[in-house]
Amino acid sequence: MRLAVLCALLVLPAAELHAQQARLAIAPERPLPGALVTLTVTGVGAPTDSVVAITGTMAGEPLHFFASRGVHRAIGAVPVDSANTVTARVIVERSSGRSDTLEASVTPPPLPPPAERLAVAERFGRPLDSATAARVAREGELALGVGRRSHDSPRRWTAPFLRPRASAISSRFGTGRTFNGQVTSRHLGVDFRGAVGAPIRAANRGVVALVDTFFLGGRVVYLDHGGGLTTGYLHLSRALVEVGDTVARGQTIGLVGATGRVTGPHLHWTARYGALTVNPLDLLALSPPERSGD
């Protein structure tokens, strides 16, 4: 009997042996809320039963895998308000019709309580009236729409992301804030110092998806980099691009200003993966995909 079982194992099809080794990993293993993560699928190679597609979701957002040297990778995101485990679910489809389901999870730590106390113009430092709240909600949906539609755009970047300004950072992502002692919020971007009129660069190649003036964000420009990634540039004194423009990595797209809810002139840089707001500094660690394998 033992000999028969051993022989059966030896003649298993190569595809089945490879399928048993399929793995999904998420890095980093303990990301902060609002972090970008890299998902890696390995061990799916099988000469007699090749992979035809790898799809999946994480935190409600689709994943776009690309292949390089037999390894499939995708970018994902951890919601900034995560209080529990976040799970990614991936399906590997093969030429035989067989599919393998892989899962991996991360559990982010909580963000710290509010620490910054800021003074702003009175109209920005008190609870919003119903009309203003409705305006802020509409503007938020416009920005969210840019992120959601980016999943349908081809990946437009082939070089690493760069900082939109070389100046010092005055406030980091995730910091809790109180405005005029009344309004509490979470800082969902990174602030760069700058005088009014100082240049702002596109963090990477993309298409201008939105140029507008928001109540809180002031003059804004949003870029669609494709594959679910977008960046936003807020509080500008002037935008130098128009909706539909294709911009190059490092191109000047606007000038620093003090529009919207601010304590002074600066650039507020934001990023999203789909509808999820993420730490834009995490973009700087991304490696450009070598080729598409979606």
Same domain, 145 and 81: no
Final residue in a domain of this structure, among 87, 106, 125: 106
Domain for residue 267, yes or no? yes
Report helix, strand or coil for 281: helix
CATH number for position 199: 2.70.70.10
The answer, yes or no, to whether residue 183 has pLDDT greater than 50, is no
Same domain, 236 and 273: yes
Whole-model pTM: value is 0.84
The answer, yes or no, to whether residue 15 has pLDDT greater than 50, is no
Please name the residues in contact with 253: beta carbons below 8 A apart, sequence gap of 6 or more: 200, 201, 202, 208, 221, 223, 233, 239, 240, 241, 247
Alpha-carbon gap, residue 54 to 170, rounded angstroms: 41
Alpha-carbon gap, residue 51 to 115, rounded angstroms: 49
> What pLDDT, on a 0 to 100 scale, did the predictor assign at position 126?
58
Same domain, 269 and 245: yes
pLDDT tens-digit series, residues 246-278:
999 999 999 999 999 888 999 999 999 999 999
- What percentage of residues in the chain have a pLDDT greater than 90? 65
Domain for residue 294, yes or no? no
Contact between 59 and 28 (Cβ < 8 Å): no
| Residue 243: domain span | 116-285
Task: Round to the nearest angstrom and report the end-to-end CA distance of the chain.
Answer: 45
Same domain, 131 and 226: yes
The answer, yes or no, to whether residue 87 has pLDDT greater than 90, is yes
Domain for residue 290, yes or no? no
Same domain, 153 and 260: yes
Contact between 202 and 248 (Cβ < 8 Å): yes
Please name the residues in contact with 142: beta carbons below 8 A apart, sequence gap of 6 or more: 210, 212
Q: Which residue has the higher pLDDT, 252 or 52?
A: 252
Same domain, 279 and 185: yes
Q: Which residue has the higher pLDDT, 256 or 14?
A: 256
Same domain, 80 and 161: no
The answer, yes or no, to whether residue 96 has pLDDT greater than 80, is yes
Alpha-carbon gap, residue 184 to 125, rounded angstroms: 9
The answer, yes or no, to whether residue 82 has pLDDT greater than 90, is no
Domain for residue 111, yes or no? no
Domain for residue 232, yes or no? yes
Final residue in a domain of this structure, among 106, 141, 156: 106
Same domain, 78 and 131: no
Same domain, 150 and 264: yes
Same domain, 120 and 265: yes
- What's the domain count of the chain? 2
